[in-house]
Amino acid sequence: MVRLEPGNCQLKPSQRRQLLSWLKRAVALGERVGDFLLRITVRRLGSGRYEMNANVHDAAGDFQLRSRGHTWRDVCRAMVRMLSVRLHGQRLALA
C-alpha cells in the first residue's frame, strides 16, 4: 500500500499521477517481499527546494529514505531509484 502525504506543499493531480506511475516497479518489488507499506511525505524547503521522505515497512524490515533537491522532478526520480535498489536488495536477501 502506498500513502502519499503532502506536507506544506500541494501536489497537482498530474504530479501525483506521475509519481505513482514512477513507483510501479518499487511497489511491485515491495509486494513480492510481503507485508508492504510505503509512506511518502513531500515538503517544500524555502525557495524552490523540495524534500521527500519515505518510510517503508515490509516483511524484511523497516527503513527510511530521504531525498532533497532543487526541482520536484529531481527529488522524485532520486527517491524512486533509491527505493527500487533498496527493495531489490531486500528481495534478494529473503530469497
Of 93, 49, 39, nearest to 75 by C-alpha is 49
d(CA 51, CA 59): 27
DSSP single-letter state for residue 7: -
Q: Is the dihedral of CA 44, 47, 48, 49 positive or negative?
A: negative
Scanning the structure block, which residue is given the C-alpha cell 509519481? 19
Residue 86: its pLDDT value, please?
95
Give the pLDDT band (50/70/90) at residue 57: very high
Phi-psi region of 63 (alpha: psi -120 to 50; beta: other; left: phi over 0): beta
pLDDT for 11 beyond 90: no
Average pLDDT in the 35-56 region? Answer: 93
Q: Which domains does the chain have, with CATH numbers?
A: 2-94 (3.30.160.100)
